[in-house]
Chains A and B, each alone.
Chain A
Amino acid sequence: MKLCTLVTVVFVTSISCLLEAQVGAPKIGFVRYADGTARAVYGLANNFITGEQIFASTDAVAFSASGGLVASHGNIHLIGPTGAVFGEYGSSETHPLLNIDGNLTTAIAYLPREQVLLRWDGKSLSPVQLSTAGLSGTVTSVDVLNTHEAELLVATSDGNISELAVSLDTGETTSVKLLPGIKGPAVLYHSWVLFQDKDGLEIEAANGTRRTVTLSHDAASQNDLVIERMAADWLHVISQTTKQSWALHLNSRVAEWAELPGLPSSSSHKRGGE
């Protein structure tokens, strides 16, 4: 929609302005379903509409408004906002950890078998071999801290969680911080740490305050949840036990939790005027 009219905005001097507006369907992000297909999701919270399949077989996905990382049969693809493949990295990794917070330079992948971080350097997905010193445990979350550093959450064998800063230039660990009171696999998300305990999904803010999303008994067992980033402010939460799927909309203004529709049926919806 383009609405053209003349507006005079007066503050220091009078100014003529052209009003331009566009209306479209609200886009939310992309979701990997249990059958491995990745699909677009649009609509609103509590009003999700699952779109067409965009990838047939994926092992992991992470998306922001600017693009996404898709792991499929060991290959890691960096996808641009229009769906174009910007970069590709071949590996034998079947369970990579993917994340992208914002623009493509925030795209990062952790390959546990190779102990490698993949980052987008503007031209290609380049590997950074991690130093094994200080990296004892299971990496459960990864994100780009700044141009030269990545941030990892590592779950140790006793269940404690450490936050590691890793140099993207050398692969060396530059700092280690224990996250007190957090157990089991945890995920960093903006300034929150998400983890699962007997009460459900815990969302801990930087100031230590927590919110709890209560889950059904079946889905409340430890380590049941898989969390993937479906958009900048949206997380896809999957119960491996019940196969239920939720979307968590979380930013500084909102915290919404809703069921995500299951795989769509083949029925189509038609409206008048189409």
Chain B
Amino acid sequence: MKSLILALLVCTPICAQGPSFFITDPTGSNIVGPLPGTYQFPDTAQSSSSSVVLRATNPTSSPIEINNIFVADASGSDTQSLNFTVTGTVQDKILSPSSSNFENFTVNFTPASVGAITGELRVQYQVQQNGCVLDSTDPATQCPEVTADVSTLQGNATAPQLVATYNGPSGSGTLQPDASSPQLDFGNVSLSATASFTITIANETSSALNTPAVSIQFPPFQSSPFALNLSALSSTIAAGASTTFTVTFAPGQSGLASATLAIGSNSYPLVGIGIAVLGTVDELQISYIDQTGVRGLPQGATPIDFGQVTSGTNGTATLTFTVANPTTSYSAVTVPNVTVTGSAFTLTAGTAVPPCVPLPQMPYAIQPGGCISFQITFSGSAVGNYTGTLAIGSRVFSLVGESITSPLPDLSFQLDEQPLKSQQQVHLSIQLASPSPVAAIGDLTLQFTPSVNGVKDDPAINFTATSGRELQVNVAAGAQTATFNGQSAITFQTGTTAGTITFTVAFPDKAPLTHAFTIAPEQVQITESSAVRQSPNLVVTLTGFDNTYSVGNLTFSFYDTSGHPIPPSPLTVNAASDFQQYFFGPSDAGGAFSMQASFPVLNGDPTQVGSVTVVLANSAGSTSTSLNFQ
């Protein structure tokens, strides 16, 4: 009894004799229930569509061939409904008696008029039984065909909500997604001209509606000859109101062009033909190459994009154009002028592109097979979008470029010692004005410019971490300090040469930060010294640096153990040439030096010499140091 009730619940009216029908999910993967005797479609706007996916199975013990499934205008009728369609390949399919053998198909409700609409889903099929043969053409053996009602389909067709109409070169009318031929046909358009359609979207309901998305679909990486102007398109349309936009065809190349206009989920083909008017600049083939060597064919409808440059870096983007008169041309074409507008765009002859003539005096007649070339450079100093135009005679192209900057906050350098002096190890840190919203990796570089004539560098000036002058620094998201190897204090040596140390830190898409720190010339600095009696000599050793490389006079004053000067002290020696020989010789130690002076005592007792005072003079002044002999 229970199974009988279940069978009654799941069977359609033709359950026992023919195929069974079920409703599946929209993908046709799973059955969601049996198809009832009456199926109600959701309310559907006129000219719009709603659908249901159905599954046909064979519950009998004999093979069934489904010859046709259709929606008739009424029960028992063979006249197909205008409001319902069946799609899918269910016709002439044989279903073996197995639950795993089925065919899916879709019933679409596309009301042609407003109001309540009904139809009858019907099926034509044959059952292989009593010795008959499916598909047989022999009347004696062929199986009888049965035509049966499956389910009554009902739907309520509402008035259309949004109606798109067009007005342009090919006329005017209501846009139909399934129109047999393109309604938006721009026809033939000169390469120096444009043609446009105005599209109006009207809200025919009694309440405001959101305007559907509008776009043009064109193959990627190509410049489209079609352009949208959505400036007049409102985001919502009030009840009974309308909004408009335009589609423009501005070909830059001759020949057939096509694309797709999408309004919401509906698509409409766009077609047009670019026409080159003989004897005019239309005949010229215009192309450009960007800095990476990629070639582009410009279209009048799509701006020529120079891409992005980083604000504040003097960065530029340059495109090299060639304008050629094809060899197939019958005559020379005169270019009256080549002009560029837009403050961020500069026209130059640039590097010649053989065999083209680099931007000749205008007007210029390009012979068949000949060409001219020129460059346009984009340089946007301030952050923002820039526009301009390129006109080659009557052919006009838009130019666009963008100047950008990183979201990284402003940077600054901080030193734990200032002013810088020679022979220091100083810690540099890179501070951000606020916590960084992004993580970033940058390059920190150190440059040294000596202020000493004839000196090019000082090898001791470097970042101690690597003995180099370039480090990769990191900024973590949320951090306010850059780090190297996790350390925010980056140690560098100031060397022993007067000059300027310049730090530069550069992050992608951000103007580099540069700051120079001066190391002033100073007197000779002695870092270690000794005076030793090495009988019969007196040996004075001085270690230090002269960051001016200009040590001149050395003065030695000797004193006895009682502190009395030993005449003829002081003894002055001009050591300039010898220090110069050292500083500018092969020893690469900057201004650091170690000097040892030996005084042979020929006829006396070195132990009676108690001390010595040494004065070293350079261009910054004099330094004195006194030493007791050991």
Contacts and interface: CB of A to CB of B under 8 A. Distances in A.
B420 interface: no
A12 interface: yes
Nearest to A253: B528
A21 B601 CA distance: 15
A260 B464 contact: yes
A216 B491 CA distance: 14
Contact of A11 (B458, B466, B560): B560
A26 B544 CA distance: 8
B141 interface: no
B131 interface: no
Interface centre among A1, A45, A264 (most CB of B within 10 A): A1
Nearest to A216: B487
A17 B594 contact: no
A46 interface: yes
Contacts of B573: 3, 5, 19, 21
Interface range, B side: 35 or more
Contact of B567 (A3, A10, A261): A10
Interface string A10-45: 111111111111111111000000000000001111
Given A46-B424, A47-B590, A273 B578 contact: no
B600 interface: yes
Contacts of A13: 603-604
A225 to B, nearest CB: 18
B455 A272 contact: yes
B230 interface: no
Contacts of A2: 578
Nearest to A260: B464
A46 B424 CA distance: 5
A113 B130 CA distance: 102
Given A7-B599, A17-B601, A47-B423, A262 B589 contact: no
B594 A24 contact: yes
A44 B467 contact: no
A49 interface: yes
Contacts of B554: 21
A215 to B, nearest CB: 13
A85 interface: no
Contacts of B558: 9
B604 A272 contact: no
B276 interface: no
A259 B425 contact: yes
A269 interface: yes
B591 to A, nearest CB: 9
B539 to A, nearest CB: 10
Nearest to B594: A26
Nearest to A4: B573
A270 interface: yes
Interface stretch (B187-195, B355-363, B433-441, B579-587): B579-587
A9 B604 contact: yes
Contacts of B584: 271-274
A8 interface: yes
Given A47-B545, A271-B457, 18 more contacts: A9-B601, A11-B604, A12-B604, A15-B604, A16-B602, A19-B573, A19-B599, A21-B554, A21-B598, A22-B595, A25-B589, A46-B493, A259-B491, A261-B464, A262-B465, A264-B468, A265-B466, A272-B456
Interface of B: 422-425, 454-460, 462, 464-469, 487, 491, 493-496, 527-528, 543-545, 554, 556, 558, 560, 566-568, 571, 573, 575, 578-579, 581-582, 584-590, 592-605, 608-609
14 contacts: A2-B578, A3-B578, A11-B566, A12-B604, A15-B601, A16-B602, A17-B602, A44-B496, A46-B494, A49-B588, A49-B589, A259-B491, A261-B493, A270-B456
